[in-house]
A and B are shown apart, each in its own frame.
Chain A
């Protein structure tokens, strides 16, 4: 049934020289019936090649587009798609074959279809959805500065190409190179002519030479001649296209790897190569190129996100130039989206910048699917009505949203994401996992093989403190019914015993030994029972959520691993998580330290093996077959971070803005606090929005209105509190201060929030570090801030 529509070209009606047509609402004849889903095509440029900037011996890895797990693509680089060993879904690593395109079905199945196809059916037996591929108008509204739409000479596909720097364009669809513009054709013509002339004269020369050789051997001469011609012919054929292209490509590839390693060195030390490749795969949408908006994007373009798209229908005004660094003084009157995109694009040549010269409101009305194509949407200074619409559109599509606003000295940030799971939370001062309270057999055996009493002086003073503590702990346990010291007093007694164990000189004078000092210093932290720590971990994180979360066929790999972890804890782990397998540095000789380290590492590996088995069991129970190749490295990584796994679940904007589900009690508590409380500014911002809704302007924007607006804003505030059913009130000072601000957007506040929001965006995109949950208020006049869950 879909066959006829498939024949319609993707970019019907656009000729190569014509500017993209104005964006028009999709009056689509193929409006989705309930069984159909509408998704944008996965564009070829959405999937840049894997981040290859691993310096030495690194394994090429990419993130799975479905579950974000790492996929090792070593030896698979020649393939178009790779299968994720975790979720079993395919992820493209190369542009689709000529004339084809990738489409991701909502069931996560990756389909390859003709690039002209508009609707296709998913072949999965349990899905069989008919998918409307993104509308052609969508891509045509997004432009890059200095770019022009060109048509591939081979496959006749349209694509955007920067015409400033180069004359040869590689088609993203068929990977063939076409020349752009008349200039290059002329140049090529001249080259061919010159080459041709040179070859003809060479041919004459060869023929002449061959004639002399005929005297010796006719056959050889003949072969020589034809062989030479053939090679030359091939050279001529290939020169202007393939050869040039491959030379350029080789130079680019080696340069960019070196450059990226250097350019991103300082941040790669924070989030690693895999974090960087996640960042480079990200497509970020910014709504409104305000000072806040461009400052956020600046801090995302610099570290190298994949691409950004600015949505803004406004023209640049003088006061925008006054607070926005990415609008130049001569840009007044021009499209704000375009100017900002141009100036932000300069920051990093590896980031592609696009813009849509339309308001978010218009886009939401005409084509909400537009926003479905992004990894993250950031909205600044959006009014309440539009914000809630946007919130709903993104919540449905499970796309994270960051809402940001600067108002006078106040900054506001809200994260909206259904569920965000983190394996690498990079805790600041993580507790070591040493198991001295419950040593595993190999650790016991290792420690028991030494005797402090019979060692030489040198060995004694180079025994790792772990070993020392273990030894004295055994002594203690023998005297105390196998219990370890639990209270302060007992720990002090143990410290005393250790202190007495230092080496005595021949005269019986105790010697200073660093390792014994270290052992004493570590008594307190090393003797926190492992089980207690795990209880804290479980309470703090999500393992307690697991009982509420039965696994299903669609469960994310993260949750399957968590369940496996829980099963491990309840069985083989005997109440403990897998051994982390790392030990801190300590005074020791190399030999014993390395051996000790190996003991822990091997135990960790053994535990990973057990967790892996549990994962397999779970997968089989769920009917997800083909799980044999789940990578050991992924499990190791997961288990090593087992104590640090985190989940952030935010409430939707709808829940926050609906008076019956709003967290009114919490807000009420802040009303009563005596001290200055920055959450009050949140309440005031809501009152300001109410004011805007009523009067279509912000309080105190004009100098004449500051005083008269105070009582009006006060009325809005009391109505807001009334709606929430709150009896308290906010001091008049706050109302007055908000009217003073008059919706001004100070560059400093914008820049502060620009830093904070960009880092939250990076946390979401890389799935590393822990983002806020869910509202952050910055008080710029006292340099203080607070986080609240609303």
Chain B
């Protein structure tokens, strides 16, 4: 209809701020009615994730006047989402999160057009992502965050070694856990990125296998025993059936086995809730924290126009009182993402390829999942190792045990490393030494 804005004063609250200057506004801010027009007509926003944060984000954006919003989510709605994902009703359980959320917003806020994509972020290419002014993430996976971070980096253009400002698409990212949360703004190539602050994410709690197998002490150890060791051995629901944490039969089976083991060792405290929590690695979540963090993210989008943007990392915690803390996360220039130079990989000639792989997965800086390494020798591309494709893995497995020297690698050689944490390969330059002791250098590398 288009009359909703004009006739009724619907946007009065926002207009006061967009059409008036103030002493605390951003120095570049120019008050004008064009600001609302930009928000409504021009600005295109991509929201990744339509879960706890995603629902809040879509609502906030729609009520700030944004109209062209896309949302990507590959998930479907579960009953346990309903305590905070307020765009979903019991009848929607099983439907696509993106579809239901978009439909709800478009109905409730006339004029807003949310376009849903029930898909993975990896299903879209650079031309899709280049079409947005800003990308807002409400994700629960670090791998997905790193992937989108890498994608936005790959869209950067450089002029004389300087980032071309027009090619920068800001990434706004946040996460919550119980009553804690964080929000951050990333200007790819300019400010600290996801890779620069990988160490800020809490490490996943994994119990050592020997504890689970031989010296259980906590109820969690017994549950992990049933999940990791007994399930594949006994295959209680048929060969090859994977554990479904939402299937009460599966969870009950694990609980029963865990209880048996716990009794054997005199351990107490196994409950259904704990079992399911361990099996699904459940993170507690509540509506209020999502609301708070989503606002911090939305503000980063909106406030770019009329007051200072977040600089650049904020922590929130309301376990005791309400606590917020904002600081500037620092860029790590040694990292490939944030510098144009290929990164140095320091190894000894006698080190094996396996050592390189181990380093890439275990180093706090790279934290790769299943890196594949290719290189170019005498002008020919050669795959040294690739885990993700079975046939290639079998062919290249032998290389793992060869030393770098045996593989014909020399100092200065460029290695291209692909991993699920990044949409494009990273380039490393090999620095080979003949000395036996390179571990010190490696740890130095990691520490930086």
Q: Do A and B bind each other?
A: yes
Tell which of A265, A318, A759 touches B273, judged by Cβ atoms closer than 8 Å: A265
Tell which of A324, A329, A733, A742 touches B16, judged by Cβ atoms closer than 8 Å: A742
CB of B83 within 8 Å of the partner chain: yes
Tell which of A56, A744, A760 touches B17, judged by Cβ atoms closer than 8 Å: A744
Contact A593–B217 (Cβ < 8 Å): yes
CB of B63 within 8 Å of the partner chain: yes
Contact of A321 with B284 at beta-carbon distance under 8 Å, contacts A55-B271, A590-B217, A594-B265 already known: no
**What is the distance, in angstroms, from B127's C-beta to the closest C-beta of chain A?**
31
**What is the distance, in angstroms, from B260's C-beta to the closest C-beta of chain A?**
14
CB-CB under 8 A from B273, the residues of chain A are 55, 265, 268-269
CB of A241 within 8 Å of the partner chain: no
**What is the distance, in angstroms, from A303's C-beta to the closest C-beta of chain B?**
6
Bound Cα distance from A303 to B287, whole angstroms: 7
**What is the distance, in angstroms, from B153's C-beta to the closest C-beta of chain A?**
25
- What is the chain B residue whose CB lies nearest that of A746? B13
Contact of A266 with B285 at beta-carbon distance under 8 Å, contacts A593-B217, A736-B23 already known: yes
Bound Cα distance from A55 to B308, whole angstroms: 49
CB-CB under 8 A from A746, the residues of chain B are 13-14, 17, 64
Contact B23–A733 (Cβ < 8 Å): yes
Contact A744–B288 (Cβ < 8 Å): no
CB-CB under 8 A from A265, the residues of chain B are 80, 83, 273, 276, 282
CB of A585 within 8 Å of the partner chain: yes
Bound Cα distance from A408 to B255, whole angstroms: 52
Q: State which of A40-48, A225-233, A682-690, A780-788 sits at the interface with chain B.
A: A780-788
CB-CB under 8 A from A667, the residues of chain B are none
CB-CB under 8 A from A703, the residues of chain B are 16, 19-20
- What is the chain B residue whose CB lies nearest that of A332? B8
Contact A269–B284 (Cβ < 8 Å): yes
Contact A747–B324 (Cβ < 8 Å): no
Proximity bits, A732-760, B CB within 8 Å = 1, else 0:
01001100111011111101101110111
**What is the distance, in angstroms, from B17's C-beta to the closest C-beta of chain A?**
6
Contact A588–B217 (Cβ < 8 Å): yes
Contact B324–A785 (Cβ < 8 Å): yes
CB-contacts of B309-333 with A (<8 A): 310, 314, 317-322, 324, 326
CB of A706 within 8 Å of the partner chain: yes
Tell which of B108, B183, B291 touches A758, judged by Cβ atoms closer than 8 Å: B291
- What is the chain B residue whose CB lies nearest that of A770? B320
- What is the chain B residue whose CB lies nearest that of A346? B89
Contact of A322 with B296 at beta-carbon distance under 8 Å, contacts A263-B83, A590-B215 already known: no
- What is the chain B residue whose CB lies nearest that of A266? B285
CB of B21 within 8 Å of the partner chain: yes
CB of A721 within 8 Å of the partner chain: no
Contact B326–A782 (Cβ < 8 Å): yes
Bound Cα distance from A520 to B25, whole angstroms: 52
Contact of A751 with B308 at beta-carbon distance under 8 Å, contacts A323-B63, A593-B217 already known: no
Tell which of B9, B80, B178 touches A319, judged by Cβ atoms closer than 8 Å: B9
CB of A470 within 8 Å of the partner chain: no
Contact B308–A769 (Cβ < 8 Å): no
Contact B215–A588 (Cβ < 8 Å): yes
For the complex, count residues of A whose C-beta is within 8 A of B: 87
Contact B83–A748 (Cβ < 8 Å): no
CB of B4 within 8 Å of the partner chain: yes
Contact of A754 with B291 at beta-carbon distance under 8 Å, contacts A706-B20, A781-B308 already known: yes
Contact A755–B290 (Cβ < 8 Å): yes
Bound Cα distance from A787 to B22, whole angstroms: 25
CB of A425 within 8 Å of the partner chain: yes
CB of A776 within 8 Å of the partner chain: yes
Proximity bits, A102-142, B CB within 8 Å = 1, else 0:
00000000000000000000000000000000000000000
CB of A640 within 8 Å of the partner chain: no
CB-CB under 8 A from A346, the residues of chain B are 89
CB of B132 within 8 Å of the partner chain: no
CB-contacts of A264-293 with B (<8 A): 264-270
- What is the chain B residue whose CB lies nearest that of A676? B24
Q: State which of B227-235, B298-306, B337-345, B392-400 sits at the interface with chain A.
A: B298-306
Tell which of A751, A756, A781 touches B318, judged by Cβ atoms closer than 8 Å: A756
**What is the distance, in angstroms, from A652's C-beta to the closest C-beta of chain B?**
20
**What is the distance, in angstroms, from A583's C-beta to the closest C-beta of chain B?**
10
Bound Cα distance from A712 to B179, whole angstroms: 42
CB of B289 within 8 Å of the partner chain: yes
- What is the chain B residue whose CB lies nearest that of A781? B307
Proximity bits, B408-445, A CB within 8 Å = 1, else 0:
00000000000000000000000000000000000000
Contact B16–A322 (Cβ < 8 Å): no
CB-CB under 8 A from A585, the residues of chain B are 217-218
Bound Cα distance from A760 to B8, whole angstroms: 35
Contact of A259 with B79 at beta-carbon distance under 8 Å, contacts A462-B215, A751-B295, A783-B310 already known: yes
CB of A490 within 8 Å of the partner chain: no
Contact A747–B10 (Cβ < 8 Å): no
Contact A759–B179 (Cβ < 8 Å): yes
CB of B11 within 8 Å of the partner chain: yes
CB of A762 within 8 Å of the partner chain: yes
Tell which of B83, B276, B308 touches A303, judged by Cβ atoms closer than 8 Å: B83
**What is the distance, in angstroms, from A493's C-beta to the closest C-beta of chain B?**
28
CB of A773 within 8 Å of the partner chain: yes
Bound Cα distance from A209 to B283, whole angstroms: 67
CB of A349 within 8 Å of the partner chain: yes
CB-CB under 8 A from B310, the residues of chain A are 783
CB-CB under 8 A from A347, the residues of chain B are 86
Contact A269–B282 (Cβ < 8 Å): yes
Contact A744–B83 (Cβ < 8 Å): no
Proximity bits, B36-67, A CB within 8 Å = 1, else 0:
00000000000000000000100110011000
In the complex, 22 of the A-B residue pairs with CB atoms within 8 angstroms, ordered by the A residue number, are A263-B83, A265-B83, A266-B83, A303-B286, A318-B12, A322-B12, A323-B14, A409-B307, A428-B320, A589-B215, A700-B20, A737-B23, A748-B302, A752-B291, A754-B288, A754-B291, A755-B289, A755-B295, A756-B322, A769-B318, A772-B322, A782-B326
Binding site for B on A (CB under 8 A): 55-57, 259, 262-270, 295, 298-299, 302-304, 317-319, 321-325, 328-329, 332, 346-349, 408-409, 425-428, 462, 585-591, 593-594, 700, 703, 706, 733, 736-737, 740-742, 744-749, 751-752, 754-756, 758-760, 762, 769-773, 776, 780-785, 787
Beyond A299-B287, A348-B82, A756-B322, 6 additional contacts (C-beta under 8 Å) are: A319-B8, A322-B10, A323-B14, A323-B63, A409-B24, A427-B319
User: Which 5 A-B pairs have CB atoms at the shortest separation, nearest pair first?
Assistant: A755-B291, A318-B8, A755-B292, A781-B307, A733-B23
